[in-house]
């Protein structure tokens, strides 16, 4: 097994949101807020969040729920967000004209969001 790939056990599901146009720092604030929560609690949190990126995080979470239901036959009522982590993606580089014929860099970062859901068992609640 390669170090970069993580083996996912049977009762899990995941979804990856790529090329999300926000900095990883800001996206991680939303990912941190849903980590460890039950799926319905996380969805309701993202529904009423005032942050712009919460809709994209909600779409990725709904995709992970659909993957759990259709691909892995997991019970939606028992699902919780096991992991939600953010990675860097490409950076668009732009420039802005400044005085005396100079230029200033403008960096527009993109991020990647991975959400892993697990089915909560009786042993996990103890």
Cα–Cα distance for residue pair 44/28, rounded to 1 Å: 18
pLDDT band, very low/low/confident/very high, at 6 (cuts 50, 70, 90): low
Tell me which residue range forms the domain holding 39. Answer: 12-119
Task: Classify residue 77: in a domain, yes or no.
Answer: yes
Please determine, for residue 77, whether its predicted confidence score (pLDDT) is greater than 80: yes
pLDDT at residue number 43? 97
Total domains in the chain come to 1
CATH number, domain with residue 73: 3.90.470.10
Q: What are the DSSP calls for 97-119, one per residue?
A: E-GGG-EEEEEEEEEEEEEEEEE
Yes or no: say if 85 and 114 are a contact pair by the CB < 8 Å rule. yes
User: Residue 124: is its pLDDT beyond 60?
Assistant: no
Distance separating alpha carbons of residues 45 and 63, to the nearest angstrom: 16
Instruction: Give domain status of residue 126, yes or no.
Output: no
For residue 68, the model assigns a pLDDT of 95
- pLDDT (tens digit, 9 = 90+) per residue, 89-112? 999 999 999 999 999 999 999 999
5 band by pLDDT with thresholds 50, 70 and 90: low
Q: Could you tell me the pLDDT band of residue 7, with boundaries at 50, 70 and 90? A: low
6 found inside a domain: no
């Amino acid at each position: 097994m390669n170090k970069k790939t993580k083996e996912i056990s049977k009762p899990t599901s995941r979804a990856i949101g790529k090329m999300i146009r926000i900095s990883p720092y800001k996206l991680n604030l939303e990912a941190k807020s849903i980590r460890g929560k039950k799926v319905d609690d996380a969805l309701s949190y993202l529904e009423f969040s005032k942050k712009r990126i919460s809709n994209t995080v909600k779409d990725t979470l709904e995709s992970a729920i659909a993957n759990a239901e259709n691909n892995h036959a997991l019970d939606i009522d028992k699902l919780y967000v096991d992991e939600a982590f953010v990675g860097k993606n490409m950076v668009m580089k732009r420039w802005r004209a400044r005085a005396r014929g100079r230029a200033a860099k403008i960096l527009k970062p993109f991020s990647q969001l991975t959400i892993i859901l697990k089915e909560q068992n009786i042993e996990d609640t103890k």
